[in-house]
Amino acid sequence: MRKPFLSLLITLCFLCASLGALAVEYAPSSVLSQGRWVKIRVAQTGIYKLTFAELQKMGFANPAAVSVYGYGGWPLDEDFRQPYADDLPQAAVYKGDNYLLFYGRGPVKWSYSTSLATFVHENNPYSSYGYYFLSDTSPVKTLTKETSVTGASLQVDTYDDYFVHEKDQVSVNKSGRELFGESFSLNTGQTFPFAVPGITDDPAKISFRFIAKPTTGQALVILTAGTQPLLNASIPRSSIDDSYTKALELSRTVSWNGAKTPDVQVGITYSRNTNDLAHLDYIRLHAVRTLKMYGPYTFFRSIASVGNVTRFVLQEASANVKIWDVTNPVLPVEMETTLNGTECSFTIPASNTLREFVAVDISKTLPAPETVGVVSNQNLHALEQIDMVILTHPVFMEQAERLAALHRSESGLKVTVVTPEPVYNEFSSGTPDATAYRRLMKMFYDRSKQAGTAPRYLLLFGDGTFDNRMITSEWKNLTNLNLLLTYQSKESLNMYTYVTDDYFGFLDDSEGANLSGDKLDIGIGRFPVRTLEEAKIAVNKSIAYIENKTAGAWKNNISFVADDGDNNLHMSQANLLADYLETNHPEFLINKIYFDAYKKQSSGGKVGYPDVNARILKELKSGQMILNYTGHGSTAYWGAEGVLSQSEIKQFNYPYLPLWITATCDFARFDAVNTSAGEDVFLNPTSGGIALFTTTRVVDANPNFQINKQLINNLFVKNGGKRLSLGDIMRTTKVSLGNDLNKLNFTLIGDPALTLSYPGKEMRITEVNGQPVGSEPIQLKALDKVTVKGEVLTADRKRDTDFSGVLSPTMLDSKQTLTTLDNDKTGNPFSYTTYPNVMYTGKDSVRQGEFSFSFTVPKDISYSNNNGKLSLYAGNTQTREEAQGAFLQFKVGGTSDSAQKDTVGPEILYAYLNDSTFRDGGRVNTTPLFVAYLRDESGVNISGSSIGHDVMLVIDGLISQSYNLNSYYESVAGSEGEGRIVFPIPALEPGMHTAEFVVWDVQNNSSLHTFTFEVVEGLKPVLYKLTAGPVPARSDVTFFISHNRPEAVLDVQLYVYNMIGQLVWSYKENGSSALFSDYTIRWNLTGTNGVRLKPGIYLYRAAIRTDQSREATETKKLIILAQ
């Protein structure tokens, strides 16, 4: 299915004034806002009949008063320079004694191409029907009559007709709007019949389009008409070797001369290997026929009539035959005719427009349209100007309204939630069409020029498909997916194919013809949800993020991940971005995770980077504000080595939600049948990410870098003192890139109105060791006791006396240059700078905007005398306000002259697996959680600057099971020198194991703790305690489940029974709880049937299990009171 490029297009149905001028005037109110409305549809263009009896069955008391509205099934013009009909125009109809007739357009658009000198067609990629509406709200509009003229310079008794054979069945690329038909892989020679009664021997034309990807040599395609050969054409192999090109096309129009019979047989033969991918797209036949009646109605036109006063002569007519001019599809005109025996004639004046006519025999049986149903009154045209539109499937309406309510209350946005069907009804004649979404947004955009308040955001609250009609084998049997339409490129065979939501944001009058150069006018995001549960997940995560329920120092962390290979291109690009942030926003702690900096390992015949995986997962667990990836990728993982697989993403259980930026291919191909890894990041119930700036198709490395660079820059821009929302960031980024096709492959998965939860206040250091800070650097020596003071600032840079809370400082040793391992032995390793070692991390208090903390500089430092870095974070425990800052005026080197002597290693207060009831030799699951509490007056050494002085956990004395825990150390607030380590041990084999835990202080004194444990596969968790509160319950209740699997993913089920054992409510979810926290589930006391439970005594039972473990259960009583 393809719409060829037309140098000049003469449309068969000329869109005159009734279909709108270039400057659209929008109705203040939709015609659908009042009265009775019934929706009907037609499968093909024709003349349709509605009897008064049928209209009465539809509920119309006076069928003679019923009118037809709409313009049918042609796809809306994407170029906003073209005419457009706003709302639903009333169509002219022919009224009989007890019926009405109307001209109905189906979903196939025909037009005449002057460049090809033949007719071309375009299938509507969104619908297999054209839709109309019936109503009795306005007086019926009937056909006007056109008088026949005299002085004909041309008489025609034949006409130009067209036929098409096309089966839209297969998408060879799973992308783009083009679908293809019969396969020639096995059946390499096929014949396609066309029944053309009345065909003349005048020259005809056959057009066809064929696609193939020859596996060896060039392929030959042979076209015949009957026994007459018309074309031998080749498709070469050499130009399609790249894996991104699925096939090459052969598109030709050839003349067919000579004698013709009504039974036209068009043959196509594909001469190449039988296993080649090869498909027919379409065959079109343009033939000349005798002008006469062929059935109850006959459409006709004459190319020769253009520019001539023309007399049309129709044979085999009767007094019952009426001639309509349907050039204007909404306002057909009845022609004045002369009947001479069975010859009907009329004459039209000269015109440069190719006019379309239909001869209708009103005495014959005519088809009736299909009734769709009654349409409720609606009025999108009367909506007030808004900031944000949420477009969603009706199934998700409640969840979309929850999000809209939050934006109204928290952001002050004017938000409206709409569903697709009303949009189609008012903006595309009821026919599904992606351009209707865009037309809705344009209405608000155009009205803002007079009414102010231009729309800012569009959230597409629903998943999509590359097959909008859902007619391919992949999609046609799938139901209840609750999808929204997608905009697919016309290109469907190579790497330049795309799906883009940007299309809905090109709102200027001149836009739509060149999407790569058009400028976004609004911010657009998508929630790729298919089920109600996924919709709840998306909204729950968005609300929790906006309400800042997980405030913490993790918001100072940003990670840049880069692929190896390609002459270090990806690492180089990621490093430029990381260094830009390091220089311009030093308050952030930048993690550089470059594949080639880690050992590439082989396992089970596969080569991978397990340590890269482990590092990324560790950083995500610690919390990242932003996770940025540069490199190769797919819908399932990153890099050729399969880093961060989809199965791992589904198992994420960290509580902190970063923004993901993925400058890679295909990571969030949301319009595929299977859910992509990028979508799983967003759809993870409690973890993953809050949003993604990500890709939906194949992308190029260098344009990727440009958009990545602009995204990073715009993420930290302030407009009027405020950060940009995600939608505004994507919009301004794409606008800055100008004419760029690659940018269309980037999309925002997430809420476009959401702003990242940046710490909003600034912090500064005022004193170090009692001395005010100035421009001179401050020396930090090994074993120095350092006291730092500072303050949290207001917007006018004064101390914020209303800010009190928790301080989290991190002191980094000086920056070093590291070099990657050159795993692939290219002789070209990559070098980069970073702060690899942490000298101190702690927690303290902020009181009325002031803070102070102390630490001892470790003995193990770099001694480089280069600058270190202090990163600061503070959270206000009352208001959830956050602050951040950095101080770079430290030089690290030398040894203190006044260090206090310490010869005692850290005190290991506790060390256990899973929970504090663990005892030496105890039984645990295959992935237990190691927890240790430490205390040392000098401080625990986590610097990593010296070999052998790291915090280590070693299992069974094996190097492969030796874990460096420096970065897992976390200070305890308000307790100097005290902290804890929480580390999830990777999967262990069943059986007995021995563990050694060693820890050092900053003066290099060590302590050792040894213990044994037994790993039991499938060991069920321990459910210590099950409670509910408040009890008795009146309006809602929260269940608290205490267990011994902190931070593990649990399958949790809750059941509530009445006292005779009937199940009245059940709930199931996957999730995790933090260390020392119960797993909680809140319930509104509403049963499975949607009705609130009656007062009384009930039983509730909890069941928990981990992957492949047995189930642990407990049952308690619950009293429910009347509200």
The CA distance from 7 to 918, in Å, is 79
Residue 962 lies in a domain: yes
What CATH number did the domain enclosing 190 receive?
Answer: 2.60.120.1200
Question: Do 679 and 537 share a structural domain?
Answer: yes
Kindly tell me if the per-residue pLDDT of 241 is higher than 60: no
Kindly tell me if the per-residue pLDDT of 1049 is higher than 90: no
Residue 13: which region, alpha, beta or left (left: phi > 0; alpha: psi -120 to 50)?
Answer: beta
SS3 (DSSP) at 1080: strand
Kindly state the average pLDDT of the residues 232-236.
93
Kindly state the average pLDDT of the residues 615-634.
96
Residue 237: its pLDDT value, please?
A: 80
Kindly state the average pLDDT of the residues 6-19.
37
At residue 718's C-alpha, the angle toward residues 712 and 719, to 5°, is 125
The CA distance from 1064 to 341, in Å, is 80
Q: Which amino acid is at 744?
A: L
Contact 91, 42 (CB under 8 A): no
- The candidate with the shortest Cα–Cα distance to 1102, out of 1073, 1077, 1081, is 1081
Residue 5: its pLDDT value, please?
A: 30
Residue 206 lies in a domain: yes
- The candidate with the shortest Cα–Cα distance to 145, out of 19, 322, 293, 12, is 322
Q: Is residue 7 very low, low, confident or very high in pLDDT (cuts 50, 70, 90)?
A: very low
Extended strands (E) in 642-720:
659-663, 691-695, 718-719
Locate all alpha helices (DSSP H) within 37-190, ordered by sequence. 52-57
Question: Do 912 and 880 share a structural domain?
Answer: no
Which of 4-13, 164-173, 180-189, 340-349 has the least mean pLDDT? 4-13
The CA distance from 212 to 236, in Å, is 9
Residue 519 lies in a domain: no
Residue 154: its pLDDT value, please?
A: 98
Q: Is residue 239 very low, low, confident or very high in pLDDT (cuts 50, 70, 90)?
A: low
Residue 315: its pLDDT value, please?
A: 98
The CA distance from 886 to 774, in Å, is 14
Question: Do 768 and 718 share a structural domain?
Answer: no
For 714-749, the pLDDT digits (tens) are 999 998 889 999 999 999 999 999 999 999 999 999
Long-range contacts of 647-651 (CB under 8 A, 24+ apart): 648/613, 648/617, 649/677, 649/680, 649/681, 649/684, 649/688, 650/680, 650/684, 651/1049
For 89-118, the pLDDT digits (tens) are 999 999 999 999 999 999 999 999 999 999
- End-of-domain residue from the set 749, 776, 798: 749
- pTM (2 decimals)? 0.91
Kindly tell me if the per-residue pLDDT of 1000 is higher than 60: yes
Kindly tell me if the per-residue pLDDT of 420 is higher than 50: yes
Contact 693, 703 (CB under 8 A): no
Question: Do 705 and 634 share a structural domain?
Answer: yes
- The candidate with the shortest Cα–Cα distance to 868, out of 993, 952, 780, is 780
Q: Which two three-digit tokens encode residue 508?
A: 């200027």
Residue 736: its pLDDT value, please?
A: 96
Kindly state the average pLDDT of the residues 1062-1071.
90
Kindly tell me if the per-residue pLDDT of 451 is higher than 80: no
Kindly state the average pLDDT of the residues 662-679.
97
The CA distance from 444 to 692, in Å, is 27
Q: Which amino acid is at 691?
A: A
Question: Do 486 and 436 share a structural domain?
Answer: yes
The CA distance from 258 to 228, in Å, is 9
Question: Do 736 and 657 share a structural domain?
Answer: yes
- End-of-domain residue from the set 242, 259, 290: 290
What CATH number did the domain enclosing 919 receive?
Answer: 2.60.40.1220
Residue 642 lies in a domain: yes
The pLDDT > 90 percentage for the chain reads: 87
The CA distance from 176 to 183, in Å, is 19
Residue 304: its pLDDT value, please?
A: 98
Residue 525 lies in a domain: no
The CA distance from 973 to 700, in Å, is 47
Question: Do 131 and 75 share a structural domain?
Answer: yes
Query: CA gyration radius for the chain?
Result: 36
Residue 1106: its pLDDT value, please?
A: 86
- The candidate with the shortest Cα–Cα distance to 85, out of 450, 460, 508, 430, is 430
Kindly tell me if the per-residue pLDDT of 511 is higher than 80: yes
- The candidate with the shortest Cα–Cα distance to 931, out of 903, 895, 972, 893, is 972
What CATH number did the domain enclosing 730 receive?
Answer: 3.40.50.1460
Contact 797, 761 (CB under 8 A): no
Question: Do 714 and 581 share a structural domain?
Answer: yes
What CATH number did the domain enclosing 869 receive?
Answer: 2.60.40.1940
Residue 592: its pLDDT value, please?
A: 98
- The candidate with the shortest Cα–Cα distance to 516, out of 741, 697, 734, is 741
The CA distance from 741 to 439, in Å, is 23
Enter the DSSP assignment of 451. H
Q: Which residues contact 1078 (CB under 8 A, 6 or more apart)?
A: 1025, 1040, 1041, 1042
Across the chain, mean pLDDT equals: 94
At residue 1091's C-alpha, the angle toward residues 1087 and 1094, to 5°, is 80
Kindly tell me if the per-residue pLDDT of 589 is higher than 50: yes
Q: Based on the structure, what is the number of domains in the chain?
A: 7
Kindly state the average pLDDT of the residues 1105-1122.
89
Placement of tokens 């906003």 in the chain: 80
Kindly state the average pLDDT of the residues 659-679.
97
The CA distance from 704 to 726, in Å, is 18
What CATH number did the domain enclosing 479 receive?
Answer: 3.40.50
The CA distance from 860 to 951, in Å, is 13
Is residue 17 exposed (0-12), middle (13-18) or buried (19+ Cβ within 10 Å)? exposed
Kindly tell me if the per-residue pLDDT of 18 is higher than 80: no
Question: Do 769 and 878 share a structural domain?
Answer: yes
Contact 10, 114 (CB under 8 A): yes
Kindly tell me if the per-residue pLDDT of 12 is higher than 50: no
Question: Do 619 and 743 share a structural domain?
Answer: yes
Kindly tell me if the per-residue pLDDT of 708 is higher than 50: yes
For 769-807, the pLDDT digits (tens) are 999 998 899 999 999 999 999 999 999 999 999 999 999
Kindly state the average pLDDT of the residues 905-924.
93
Residue 926 lies in a domain: yes
Return the axis-axis angle of helices 532-546 and 397-406, rounded to nearest 10°.
10
The CA distance from 692 to 627, in Å, is 9
Return the axis-axis angle of helices 701-715 and 726-736, rounded to nearest 10°.
130
> Measured between alpha carbons, how far is residue 275 from residues 235, 242, 250, 270 in Å?
15, 18, 19, 11
The CA distance from 427 to 432, in Å, is 10
- End-of-domain residue from the set 981, 1015, 1049: 1015
Which of 11-20, 276-285, 781-790 has the least mean pLDDT? 11-20
Kindly state the average pLDDT of the residues 51-62.
98
Placement of tokens 């011994």 in the chain: 1044
Question: Which range marks the domain in which residue 703 is found?
Answer: 530-749
Question: Do 583 and 467 share a structural domain?
Answer: no
Residue 1069: its pLDDT value, please?
A: 86
Kindly tell me if the per-residue pLDDT of 1054 is higher than 50: yes
Residue 513 lies in a domain: no
Neighbours of 612 (CB within 10 A): 26
Cis peptide before 1032 (omega within 30 of 0): yes
Residue 977 lies in a domain: yes
Question: Do 355 and 261 share a structural domain?
Answer: no
Return the axis-axis angle of helices 701-715 and 569-584, rounded to nearest 10°.
10
Contact 407, 388 (CB under 8 A): yes
Residue 1070: its pLDDT value, please?
A: 82
